Amino acid sequence: MKEMGKYDSRVFQHGTLGQLVPGLFEGTLSVSDLLLHGDFGIGTASGLDGEMILLDHVPYLFQSNGQVRILKGSEKVPFATVHFTQVKDALTVEKMTQAQLGQFILANYPYKNLFFAVKLTGEFEFVKTRAVAKQERPYKTLTQVADEQAVFEANNVSGTLIGYYAPALFHGMAAAGYHLHFLATDHTIGGHLLDFKVANAQVELQPFATVEQHFPDEDQEFLAADIDLSDLHAQIEQAEGQN
């Protein structure tokens, strides 16, 4: 693709957030296959068992009991977004809330109409996260599950934030806006970020020319599901809502 120039990078997503809304929580792609598509990223485990954060090829799972475990290659995930770190626009930020950081990036970064990855490494004055508890069949809807999440808070913590910004056009396929996960360096806190304040951190941004959306095309439950989209966007906002 000669014309694509310097940013021939791509992000890979298995499953869609919209497909989780009606309760399609069963894993459909093995972690070992997922890792063929990226070394950093976010996701969840089968049954929505916690919050995955993929750091340098290692798929950590922060669980609702506050424990971290590493997913096995044979375990399957229903939803994950990953990419290979390739292009870095790096900057340093200090003393910013989640809302300030998000607005700062969108105001200054020329790729607001592309999917892009966000990675922060450094010190956080405050983080507030959530981790969903593992669900059993029959699965509830995503909105009902979000009400059952475990919530964690910590002050003065070192760690890594990783996630994605999705332009509003893709709401349904992903959560429009930022979708960010976190893992503390000492693994004492992690999960889906609800709120944070950066003390000082290195920010890395990576825009993607291509979004590769993969579907569980051999999963009979997915193929047969009647996905009612009439209130999908509202349900995603309720379940994934962030500041």
CB of 132 to its own copies, least distance (A): 21
| Nearer to its own copies (CB atom), residue 194 or residue 205 | 205
Find the Cα–Cα–Cα–Cα dihedral 40, 41, 46, 48, rounded to 10°.
140
User: Is residue 132 a contact residue for its own copies (CB under 8 A)?
Assistant: no
User: Is residue 113 a contact residue for its own copies (CB under 8 A)?
Assistant: yes
Q: Which stretch binds its own copies (CB under 8 A): 42-50, 61-69, 144-152, 214-222?
A: 214-222
User: Is residue 99 a contact residue for its own copies (CB under 8 A)?
Assistant: no
Q: Which stretch binds its own copies (CB under 8 A): 118-126, 142-150, 192-200, 202-210?
A: 202-210
Q: Give the N- to C-terminal CA distance of the chain in Å, as an integer.
A: 38
Written as one string, the DSSP assignment of 150-189 is EEEEEEEEEEEEEEEEE-GGGBTTB-SEEEEEEEETTSSS
Rg of the chain (C-alpha set): 17
Pick the binder of its own copies from 42, 146, 180, 211 (CB under 8 A).
211
Tokens of 1: 């693709």
- DSSP-based three-state secondary structure for 222: helix
* Whole-angstrom distance, CA of residue 106 vs CA of residue 166: 11
Q: Map residues 147-186 to x or -, x wherever contact with its own copies holds by CB under 8 A.
A: --------------------xxxxxxx-------------
User: Is residue 87 a contact residue for its own copies (CB under 8 A)?
Assistant: no
User: Is residue 30 a contact residue for its own copies (CB under 8 A)?
Assistant: yes
* Whole-angstrom distance, CA of residue 243 vs CA of residue 107: 17
| Residue 138: cis peptide before it, omega within 30 degrees of 0 | yes
User: Is residue 107 a contact residue for its own copies (CB under 8 A)?
Assistant: no
Residues 6+ apart with CB under 8 A from 202: 90, 91, 92, 120, 121, 122
Tokens of 68: 């971290």
CB of 225 to its own copies, least distance (A): 6
| Nearer to its own copies (CB atom), residue 25 or residue 111 | 111
Residues that bind its own copies (CB under 8 A): 1-5, 7, 16, 18-19, 29-30, 33, 36, 110-114, 167-173, 207-215, 217-218, 222-225, 227, 229, 232
